[in-house]
Amino acid sequence: MEIIDFKEVPSKWALCFQSECPLATSCLRFSAGLQMPEQVTHHMAVMKGARKGDSCSMYREARLEVIARGMTSLFDGLQQQVAMDIRKEVIKLFGSRAQYYRYRAADYPLTPALQEQINQIFKKYGVDHPAQFDHTTMGFDFSDY
């Protein structure tokens, strides 16, 4: 398994420390918990109540995915009206103009699910190519959906 950079783990993302769990070896929450620095004194944690037999409601598979950052060129090459309409929907997707600008500036990672939602908006307006993000890297998806 790839080593997780604990700096990438959101501060309010629940970690797991249940080594006896049958899913622990493939769980992103458990793997992130193993990387927690010793100087961290408290953090949100997954409790035993999340487990039901061999399943867990908080389980997240630890797999590398394509994580995008930045959207400064998102509307390049699009007709002005189409770009304006798509921009309105993308802002709505993020919940506010402020959040949109944070994602645009690469302050937050664009998870595969968000990338797909943006691509669906592009398709809705007849754009026949996927959205172009500023940077992509392989990383772990720490979002909670």
Q: What is the structure's pLDDT at 145?
A: 53
Distance between CA 101 and CA 90 in Å, rounded?
11
92 shares its domain with 50 = no
77 shares its domain with 28 = no
User: Quick one: which H or E segment has residue 135?
Assistant: strand 135-139
Per-residue pLDDT of the chain (145 residues; tens, 9 = 90+): 678 999 999 989 999 999 999 999 999 999 999 999 999 999 999 999 999 999 999 999 999 999 999 999 999 999 999 999 999 999 999 999 999 999 999 999 999 999 999 999 999 999 999 999 999 999 999 987 5
Q: What is the structure's pLDDT at 109?
A: 94
52 shares its domain with 72 = no
| Sequence letter at residue 120 | Q
72 shares its domain with 132 = yes
Distance between CA 61 and CA 66 in Å, rounded?
15
User: Is the pTM above the cut of 0.85?
Assistant: no
Q: For strand 65-69 and strand 51-52, is the pairing parallel, antiparallel, or unpaired?
A: unpaired
Domain membership of residue 144 (yes or no) is no
132 shares its domain with 87 = yes
Q: What is the structure's pLDDT at 1?
A: 64
97 shares its domain with 33 = no
Q: How many domains does the chain have?
A: 2
Enclosing domain of residue 111: 65-139
19 shares its domain with 39 = yes
76 shares its domain with 128 = yes
Contacts of 77 (CB under 8 A, 6+ apart): none
Full 3-state SS string of 82-118: HHHHHHHHHHHHHCCHHHHHHHHCCCCCECHHHHHHH
Quick one: tokens of 78?
């699009």
44 shares its domain with 103 = no
